[in-house]
C-alpha cells in the first residue's frame, strides 16, 4: 500500500470515533475558509500599510488565489482525473465533495493566500499558514483528500503567490 494511502487511513481513522472531534473536523474542513477570508480583510484594514499598499496587497493576493485555484488547479484536473478517497477506498466521509481530488483546490487557494500575506507580513502570514495546514489536514481526516492532493495544492498555491508577488514587485519597483 502506498505511503499516500497509509497516511490517508492513519488520519481518517480519527473520524467516526467522537462526535465532538468530527464536528471540529467538519468545521475546520468546511467553514474555517470563511473566517480566513474575513481575517484577510481584517489584516488589510488593520495593517500599517498605506492605502495604495493595501490595494496592492489585496490585488496580489486576489490574483494569486484565482490563478492557483481556478487556473492551474483546474488545468491539472482537466487532464488528470483522480477520484476522491471515499470513492476509491472504504473511509469515513464527513463532508460531501464532488469533482476530482488532485490537486486540492482548498489547498491551492489558501496556501496562495497564506504565502501572499506572509510576503507582506511574516507574523500574520504564519497564522494563515497554520490555519491552512489545519484546514487541509482536516480535509484528509474527513476523507475527501489524499495527503498528496494537499501537498500538490500547497505547492501550486505557494509558488503561484510567490511568482506573482515577485513579478509584481519587480514591475512596481521599476516605476
Q: What is the DSSP letter of 145?
A: -
Tell me how far CA of residue 4 lies from CA of 18, 85, 143, 168, in angstroms.
24, 11, 13, 36
Query: Per residue in 136-174, pLDDT tens?
Result: 999 999 989 999 999 999 999 999 999 999 988 877 664
User: What sections of the chain are H helices per DSSP?
Assistant: 3-12, 19-26, 32-46, 51-66, 73-79, 85-88, 105-120, 122-141, 147-174
Query: What pTM value is reported for the model?
Result: 0.89
What is the distance between the alpha carbons of residues 163 and 116, in angstroms, rounded to a whole number? 10
What is the distance between the alpha carbons of residues 112 and 153, in angstroms, rounded to a whole number? 9
- For the chain, the average pLDDT equals 91
pLDDT at 175: 44
Cis link prior to 165 (omega < 30° from 0)?
no
Query: Per residue in 17-36, pLDDT tens?
Result: 899 999 999 999 999 999 99
Amino acid at each position: 500500500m502506498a505511503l499516500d494511502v497509509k497516511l490517508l487511513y492513519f488520519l481518517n481513522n480519527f473520524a467516526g470515533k467522537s462526535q465532538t472531534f468530527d464536528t471540529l473536523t467538519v468545521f475546520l474542513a468546511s467553514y474555517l475558509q470563511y473566517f480566513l477570508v474575513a481575517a484577510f480583510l481584517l489584516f488589510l484594514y488593520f495593517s500599517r500599510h498605506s492605502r495604495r499598499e493595501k490595494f496592492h496587497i489585496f490585488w496580489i493576493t486576489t490574483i494569486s488565489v484565482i490563478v492557483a485555484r481556478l487556473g492551474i488547479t483546474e488545468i491539472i484536473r482537466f487532464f488528470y482525473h483522480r477520484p476522491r478517497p471515499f470513492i476509491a477506498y472504504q473511509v469515513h466521509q464527513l463532508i460531501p465533495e464532488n469533482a476530482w481530488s488532485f490537486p486540492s483546490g482548498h489547498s491551492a487557494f489558501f496556501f496562495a493566500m497564506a504565502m501572499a500575506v506572509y510576503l507582506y507580513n511574516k507574523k500574520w502570514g504564519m497564522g494563515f499558514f497554520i490555519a491552512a495546514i489545519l484546514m487541509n489536514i482536516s480535509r484528509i481526516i474527513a476523507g475527501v483528500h489524499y495527503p498528496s492532493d494537499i501537498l500538490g495544492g500547497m505547492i501550486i498555491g505557494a509558488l503561484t503567490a510567490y511568482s506573482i508577488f515577485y513579478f509584481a514587485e519587480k514591475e512596481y519597483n521599476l516605476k
